[in-house]
Structure 1
């Protein structure tokens, strides 16, 4: 396994500074996010980041974003979907420059204004469009399971990926903690199997029924032994990226501690 940290947990504002901190803490990689006005929109900044990451002997597991919660790929509004697709295309370009090989996509958001069936059709079309672009760059479009009331079973998740893959490389960015709310991560892993291309980890407390239930690995109720056994059973030996916030006090202390826990769990 190789270990990385998502930008959610970065203690500093500068990607370069965070890359240095991650290298010092023993991580193998850094996972930056495409944000509304962040540096990943600037080609020169991305090239400079690529050089610094290379100097630090780090890799990039994927490019992620939170933009698709607003620029929804399942929106009934064509301009909103278009903006989401354009953001996805930029992520693919950045992934190509940083040799990431994958982008993290939230495919849909189901709510009162977006019925499930309509969300499915629009999301599938949007992901297929991105998959066509991804195939040109050899970048996989990785669908993450998130709290978006969409793809709520591993069987449906697998079917969606299989349909979308007809247009290009599409896989699962499986988030262990996100599933614990309504399922068993180890079961999802075995069903999704080779479709899993990347892994996000965080823990989840089942005695808390809010978003505050999320916590750091080893501090919740995820059965990490079962998760590791399931990953071994499907032959997964790729990236495991922590998606957790920095500590409120001494945020830099979180980096080496989580890295140590990831090594304990998966090495």
Structure 2
């Protein structure tokens, strides 16, 4: 458990740990992936993989699949179309949070996470995306911190055995709200199998993605790409917060590009947007390419 004193002592060190070496400006060496849920549900598994490949995506992120036959079909489609499954999005951590006070709920969540880890091993994915916990009226911040770490630690042995990284994502869960705290939280595991899955869009509600990227640095193992806007009402009325396509929101993509260059990120980034047809998916890939080349500008 992190104390206030240890937090303050480590705050400066955390920023130093983030490499800021200069890189030549240009396109980032990042593989472009698509979220499986972005592909039309009315298509078969094979058709969804083929569509993603035809639209120019290099990899795909798939959800937890408990049915072995379906998991095998996804593996076969990945191999047939040459579209690697790079990550598994764990599906049980919201319904059954690690931070619940009920041991039965936590165990249910752990079982779902173990299924995700085994999926990753079957598919050849390097990471499993996990939401570490939720703070709410029933779960205090302190309890969430302690319970989430206890749960994640139970998964590390299997992750080590199958060589899968537990990639913790920052979401709208009222938990780990500072990049300094998130970095320290990850470091406390002292395991190369626990890293950060950084979502560029999620953080806009209470921070700046370029700031988080620089502080998290090499802790970042995967990225989610989406945009977000605080649309102003007419005559200065209330703002409407909503998700939008990359480039149509408030994110400073030039600053994000610079931050990713500085930390030397060369992994995979996954679009996590609404589903759509081939034309939509190709347009999202075009916008994705502009982000990686440093040419995407926000409309804010």
CA distance in 1, matches of 2:123, 2:183: 28
Q: 1:1-267 maps to which residues of 2 (within 5 A)?
A: 1-13=30-42, 14-34=44-64, 40-166=65-191, 169-207=193-231, 213-247=242-276, 251-267=277-293
Contact 1:246 1:252 in 2 (8 A): no
Choose 3-12 or 15-24, whichever is displaced more. 3-12
Tell me how far 1:66 sits from its aligned partner: 3.6
- Write out per-residue CA displacement over residues 202-226 of structure 1, whole angstroms, 9 at most, x where no aligned residue: 0010236888511111110100011
CA distance in 2, matches of 1:64, 1:16: 19
RMSD: 1.6
Tell me how far 1:242 sits from its aligned partner: 0.5
Tell me how far 1:127 sits from its aligned partner: 1.0
Contact 2:91 2:112 in 1 (8 A): no
Aligned to 2:21: none
Where does the alignment leave 5 or more consecutive residues of structure 1 unmatched?
Answer: 35-39
What is the number of residues matched between the two proteins? 258
Tell me how far 1:28 sits from its aligned partner: 0.5
TM-score, normalised with respect to structure 2: 0.82
Distance 1:211 1:175, change over 3 A: farther
Higher relative contact order structure (alpha carbons within 8 Å, sequence separation ≥ 6)? 2
Tell me how far 1:43 sits from its aligned partner: 2.1
* Partner SS for 2:205: coil
Where does the alignment leave 5 or more consecutive residues of structure 2 unmatched?
Answer: 1-29, 233-237, 294-300
CA distance in 2, matches of 1:206, 1:156: 26
CA distance in 2, matches of 1:82, 1:184: 35
